[in-house]
Amino acid sequence: MQSNMSFQTASKSSAIEINKVLKNTYMLLSMTLAFSAVTAGISMSMGLSHMAGLIMTLVAFVLLFVVHKQADKASGIFWIFAFTGLMGASLGPMLNYYAAMPNGASLIMQALGGTALIFFALSGYALTSKKDFSFMGGFLMVGLIVAIIASIANIFFAIPALSLAVSAAIIMIMSGLILFDTSRIIHGGETNYIRATVSLYLNIYNIFVHLLHLLGVFGGDD
């Protein structure tokens, strides 16, 4: 009887901790996405070059290692905002490119709406179904590596069809990662809300970028 009560207490305590991680993750995610939107807007207004965007992306990925290292410390909050702020600013040149199209503003809004729809639908499904999607981890990692290699190869070959295929693949992989990452939080696999936020942020970021690319190709001449 005492053992059963101890198990129930431990279970309740674990559920409270998981809910706390979820709450903190979604709160921090919304704040970092809003901050990225602000820095993207500033970058657009400054008219930064694509080279400046590339440099900011590279610096941001250096900061990504710092974020993971500092995630268990209070300073982790500062570093995640530094990282997401740079990631948002790096979008400025790309957004200006699409905004210059005849229906550019519409394309950007469609990409934002599509990204939000994908995220809320998949994270909502993971939260309500409580399914364990950890089995997808290996498959998604292999798919991501293949997509990255194909993307790098296409820098040299410049094949439009391959570029579209890579973007479509990355959207699918990042969608799977939303299920995987949300599932990890729900089942106690990720207990640090800063690391959880970074994972979901990158999923959303990549879906938006590649969805905008696809929309730009198929709807850019309207």
Residue 7's pLDDT is 44
- Taking 3-state DSSP, the helix, strand and coil percentages for the chain, each rounded to the nearest 5, stand at 85, 0, 15
Write the CA distances from 64 to 7, 111, 122, 131, 166, integer angstroms.
Answer: 38, 25, 25, 29, 23
Residue 108's pLDDT is 93
Q: What is the mean pLDDT of the chain?
A: 88
Overall average pLDDT of the 108-128 stretch:
94
Q: What percent of the chain has pLDDT over 90?
A: 60
Q: What percent of the chain has pLDDT over 70?
A: 92
| Confidence band of 190 (pLDDT split at 50, 70, 90) | confident
Task: Look at residue 11 and tell me whether its pLDDT is greater than 60.
Answer: no
Report yes or no: 77 and 195 within 8 Å, Cβ to Cβ: no
Distance CA 26, CA 130 (A): 17
Overall average pLDDT of the 180-206 stretch:
92
Report yes or no: 212 and 108 within 8 Å, Cβ to Cβ: yes
Residue 12's pLDDT is 60
The string of pLDDT tens digits covering residues 152-188 is 887 787 778 888 988 999 999 999 999 999 999 898 7
Residue 39's pLDDT is 96
The string of pLDDT tens digits covering residues 41-92 is 999 999 989 999 999 999 999 999 999 999 999 899 999 999 999 999 999 9
Task: Look at residue 33 and tell me whether its pLDDT is greater than 90.
Answer: yes
